[in-house]
Amino acid sequence: MNHLGFKIDKVKIASFDFTCCEGCQLQLANKESTLPAFLGLLDIRNFREISSERYDDYDIALIEGSITRSDEIERLKAIRAQAKVLVAFGSCACFGGVNSLKNKIPGEEAVRGVYGDKTVQTMPSTKISDIVPVDLMIPGCPVSKAEVERIIVGVVTRAPNNLPKYPVCVDCKQKLNTCLFDLGEVCLGPVTKAGCDAVCPTGKTVCLGCRGPADDMNFPSFIQIVKEKGLSLDEMHEKLAFYNGFADFLDHES
């Protein structure tokens, strides 16, 4: 394409998984209606969900998963050295994700619970920005394919697309959903970054904050609201800790 007189090239992309379920990467192979067009934007260099070919020259690296082993740190640093744009892909990479639940219990206990007496090397689950600088974050559990498309198109057309800054409530109200607080539940929609199209509240499931905090969200007021409505603060804390996206706020609070 030669829009505006400048040529738009495919981007050399690679995708890597660390400690995760690979569900976010699988999302990329979903949404068949736009899949051929989407793949048309990409020169896939390394992406085991899509192609068996492996090359080491890529510009964009998608990182799925959190870091839970020391060898992952070295691998991540090597990817960082090669990639021009490093993308934290999915909630695990962005915040530590569900994996971080194990950080709450002693490491040996976690290993014993899952692997029994087998020796397994592990460390607390860490988000990737604690280890290397991250250029872009695409949160979500799993990521939204529509949002990934938007962001990749932005990279390709040299017009970086930002995530929304506002909370999920905006999208939720636009779906004409009944507010889950009105049904007596604790929903993290008011403090969580929008962009998911409020899929969970639309399905009558509370938001668990997989996209992390909205910009400049009002945490003290949110706690106050949960209290005033007579809802469970423990439940709220449990939800806030689920994807580890609100770690900064929870640390601050205690």
Partner 1 sequence: MHDMRFTLPGQDLNREPFALKPPDFQKKCEVMITDRGYKCRLTNIVTISSQEKLFLLRIINPQERELFNFRPGQFLMLEVPGYGEAPISISSDNSNHEFIEICIRKAGHVTSAMFEAKQGAVVSIRGPFGTAFPMEAMEGSNVLLVAGGLGIAPVRAPLYWIGNHRDRYKNVYLLYGAKEPSQLLFSYQFEEWKKVSKVELMTIVENPDASWAGRTGMITELFNDFSFDAKKTFAIVCGPPVMFKFVCNYLDGKGIPMNRMFVSLERRMHCGMGKCCRCMVGSTFTCLDGPVFDYWSVMNLKEAI
Partner 2 sequence: MIYKVISKTEFRKFIDALVKHNTAYGPRAVDTGKDGKPIYQFMPVTSADEIDFDYTVTHSSAKHLFLPYRDELSRFRFNDEDWEQEVRYEAPPLILIGLRPCDINAINILDEVMLHGPYPSPYYLARRKNTFIIGMDHLPLPDCFCKSMNRHTVNHGFNLFCSDIGDKYYLSINSSKAYTFLKEFMLEEPSYEDNCLLIERRKTIKQSFTTNIEVTGLPVFLDIEFDSPIWQKWGDKCLSCGSCAMVCPTCYCYSVEERFDVDLKGSSRQNHLYSCNLIDFAQVAGGHNFRPRNGDRLKYRYYHHYRGFAANDNQQICVGCNRCGRACLADINPKDVINDLRLERESCMICVSPSPDRT
Residues that bind partner 2 (CB under 8 A): 1-5, 8, 34, 37-38, 40-41, 149-150, 153, 156-157, 165-167, 169-170, 173-174, 176, 178-179, 181-184, 189-191, 214-218, 220-222, 224-225, 228-229
CA distance 216 to 194: 13
Q: Is there binding between residue 252 and partner 1 (CB under 8 A)?
A: no
Q: What does each C-alpha distance from 211 to 219, 244, 248 come to in angstroms?
A: 15, 10, 14
Site string for partner 1, 135-174 (x = CB under 8 A): ----------------------xxxx--------------
The minimum distance between CB 106 and partner 2, in angstroms, equals: 37
DSSP state string for 175-200: TTPPPTTTTT----GGGBB--STTHH
- HSE value, Cβ hemisphere, 13 Å, CA-based, for 133: 6
Interface mask (CB under 8 A) for partner 1, residues 6-45, using x and -?
x---------------------------------------
> Pick from 187, 179, 251, 249: which is nearest to 220 by CA?
249
Residue 163 binds: one of partner 1, partner 2, none (C-beta under 5 to 8 A by kind): none
The entry of partner 1, partner 2, none near residue 224 (CB within 5 to 8 angstroms by kind) is partner 2
Residue 9 CB, nearest approach to partner 1 (Å): 13
Question: What is the distance between the alpha carbons of residues 207 and 168, in angstroms, rounded to a whole number?
Answer: 8
One symbol per residue from 98 to 137: x for binding partner 1 (CB under 8 A), - otherwise; what is it?
----------------------------------------
How far is Cα 125 from Cα 143, in angstroms, rounded to an integer? 19
Give the one entry of partner 1, partner 2, none that residue 6 binds, where binding means its C-beta sits below a cut-off of 5 to 8 angstroms depending on kind. Answer: partner 1
Binder of residue 218, out of partner 2, partner 1, none (CB less than 5 to 8 A by kind):
partner 2
User: Given the complex with partner 1, which of 3 and 252 has the nearer CB atom?
Assistant: 3
Residue 8: φ, ψ to 5°: -105, 120
Identify what 179 binds: partner 2, partner 1, none; CB under 5 to 8 Å per kind. Answer: partner 2
Q: How many CA atoms lie within 13 A of 39 on its CB side?
A: 15
Phi, psi (deg, nearest 5) at residue 63: -110, 115
Tell the smallest beta-carbon distance from residue 98 to partner 2 (Å): 25
- CA geometry: angle 202, 146, 160, nearest 5 deg: 125
Q: How many whole angstroms separate alpha carbon 56 and alpha carbon 46?
A: 7
141 within 8 A of 22, measured Cβ to Cβ: no
Q: Give the nearer residue to partner 1 in terms of CB position, either 129 or 157.
A: 157
Which residues of the shown chain bind partner 1 in the complex (CB under 8 A)? 3-6, 157-160
